[in-house]
Chain A
Amino acid sequence: MLALCCMSAVLGFADEPAVVFTPRQQRRILQHSPVPAVPDDPTNDWDRDPAAAHLGQALFFDAGFSRNGQVSCATCHGPMIAWTDAQPLATGLETGTRHSPSLLNVAHQRWFFWDGRADTLWSQAMHPIEHPGEFDASRIEYVRRIHSDAAYREAYESLFGPLPPMDDEQRFPRDARSDSPAWAAMAETDRDQVNRAFANCSKSVAAYESRLRSVESPFDVFVEGLRQDDETKLAALTASEQRGLQLFVDEAGCRQCHSGPLFSDFEFHNIGIPTGHGGAPRDPGRFDGLAHVQRSPFSAHGPYSDDPDGARARRTASIVQGQEHWGSFKTPTLRNIERTAPYMHQGQFDRLEDVLAFYNTLEDMQLQDHHQEMVLKPLELTDAQLADLAAFLRSLTSPLPPKSLMGPVDPRTGKPPSEPIEGP
């Protein structure tokens, strides 16, 4: 440790020139690893509950909630491709306007969606259900299906207590979408019951998603080596990867936004990438997202939050609204980046090399106006340096979460549905 603080570390291989990290670079590198435990979510009392995670996993992989019976969360967040879909733009019932992000390590985020229009993981999970291009379903039919399916009902009621009497179709009319007159005509207490059951299911989905951790990459072994002055662990990164790391934390300025153990500040920036549709940007990004999150009845300060007066709620209420948020999007994590092509909010870039080429030249950058944040300058790196940077980014790949999290389960047990359920 003393050696680490007082002199530069010399790390190299017999056949390649050694990489020398300054004390400042070393201090910065240590900020990127290890990934801490998943943060507690006080707005969700069930975020650590294994039974809730089982119910959530069953819901995640179930296409029966969508209007055509073919779309589940896993359609766009497929476990075999790092919980994303390898498509530029997501397709459920229709093709949307944004790219599906990976859900690996998602519970570390501060805001959800590219525009941060959800402030909790559980409230995020409610959106796809009613989105016309995704499930195109309604919360009332969602809750009715939980009620009419014996396994779901048992799992749900043992966690959250009785479901509303969904078979009473006078009180809970069929297909009463939340934007329809039929929904508006329902008793307020009945709407509240449906909302609450819908929120509870979503809290279970969040409990499942919190388990999607993937945090032990060669880079993390290297950082351990740096902390412990352990040669074997330091060898986890090649000389090229180490040179890329050095660029990342210093000259290339990437850590200005891709900071901390998740390589994301979890905040929003407009980096001016050319649009997927060509021409000027049309997507307001964070500018709309923050207005939405403050209005939503399902946000951290709303009646369905388990901590409506906590810090999370206060921070949602206190976001600064400014013109500079127009066209800005959340900084994505760079962990497992090798697995999650294509890149950016519209999947504009197919390969990491394309992303780096943009940062290197800022060619075709879409500038807004004088309100924009000004951080990026063309990097003007050599081809060899770009190759080092790409090599470093590929060293952020970790083993995927266990197989047991990769497919449908029985909501009561968390075991694959085919396995017999043990009696009481």
Chain B
Amino acid sequence: MIREQNTMNMHLPAIAISLALVLGGCSSTLDHQLQSNDRAYEVSWSSDPAPIPVNEFFTMDVEVRRDGTLLASGDLVVDAAMPHHNHGMNHIPHIERTGTGRWHVQDMLFHMPGDWELYFDIKQDGVVHRAQESIEVD
């Protein structure tokens, strides 16, 4: 009995970690966290390089959750603009789903220093939910 209990204890953390990995956990390890404007979705993202440099291509990893669970359906579009300048990015970013609720984004380029708005459009069941974040690159 005692011996079995010990074994159980030893395995518990490992089981917890694998469970967390399988279910996608309720929180993200990515640097930035925000909510969609209607508060229905949580978006987490990080960039490489970080922080985002001026006029250098960067990639992003993005996770989207609803009620703490990674999205099993739906699409994501990532875009950005400089509202004060009246222009967006010069490229359409390349977005690839890498797993449940996870995406990898390539060809992001903030070609000018200044204030950018980063947009995450989550499309589920025909409805688009937007999350957005202001980023200053300098």
Seen from chain A, the residues whose Cβ lies within 8 Å of a Cβ on chain B are 24, 27-28, 31, 255-257, 259-260, 265-268, 311, 314-315, 318-320, 322, 324, 370-375
Closest 4 CB pairs of A and B: A318-B92, A267-B111, A318-B91, A373-B87
Q: Which residues of A contact B54 (CB under 8 A)?
A: 31, 259-260
**A14–B90 CA distance with the chains assembled, in angstroms:** 48
B92 to chain A: closest residue by CB? A318
Report yes or no: A319 in contact with B90, Cβ–Cβ below 8 A: yes
On chain B, which size bracket covers the interface? 20 to 34
* Majority secondary structure, B binding face: loop
B11 within 8 A of A: no
Residues 91-126 of B contacting A (Cβ, < 8 Å): 91-94, 106-107, 111-114
Shortest A318–chain B CB gap in Å is: 5
Report yes or no: A375 in contact with B85, Cβ–Cβ below 8 A: yes
Residues 16-75 of B contacting A (Cβ, < 8 Å): 54-55, 57
Shortest A258–chain B CB gap in Å is: 11
Q: Which residues of B contact A315 (CB under 8 A)?
A: 57, 91, 107
Report yes or no: B86 in contact with A373, Cβ–Cβ below 8 A: yes
Q: Which residues of B contact A375 (CB under 8 A)?
A: 85, 112
Shortest B31–chain A CB gap in Å is: 21
Shortest B94–chain A CB gap in Å is: 6
Report yes or no: B86 in contact with A320, Cβ–Cβ below 8 A: no
B138 within 8 A of A: yes
Report yes or no: B94 in contact with A320, Cβ–Cβ below 8 A: no
Q: Which residues of A contact B85 (CB under 8 A)?
A: 373-375
Report yes or no: A259 in contact with B90, Cβ–Cβ below 8 A: no
B77 within 8 A of A: no
Report yes or no: A324 in contact with B86, Cβ–Cβ below 8 A: yes
| Interface-centre pick from A27, A257, A315, A374 (highest chain B CB count, 10 A) | A315
Contact of B107 among A256, A259, A268, A314 (CB under 8 A): A314
Report yes or no: A318 in contact with B107, Cβ–Cβ below 8 A: yes
Q: Which residues of B contact A371 (CB under 8 A)?
A: 86
Report yes or no: B138 in contact with A320, Cβ–Cβ below 8 A: no
Shortest A119–chain B CB gap in Å is: 12
Known: A259-B55, A314-B107. A267 touches B90 (CB 8 A): yes
Shortest B63–chain A CB gap in Å is: 23
Contacts A314-B106, A371-B86 known; list 6 others, CB within 8 Å: A27-B138, A259-B113, A315-B107, A319-B91, A370-B86, A375-B85
Shortest B118–chain A CB gap in Å is: 16
Report yes or no: B91 in contact with A265, Cβ–Cβ below 8 A: no
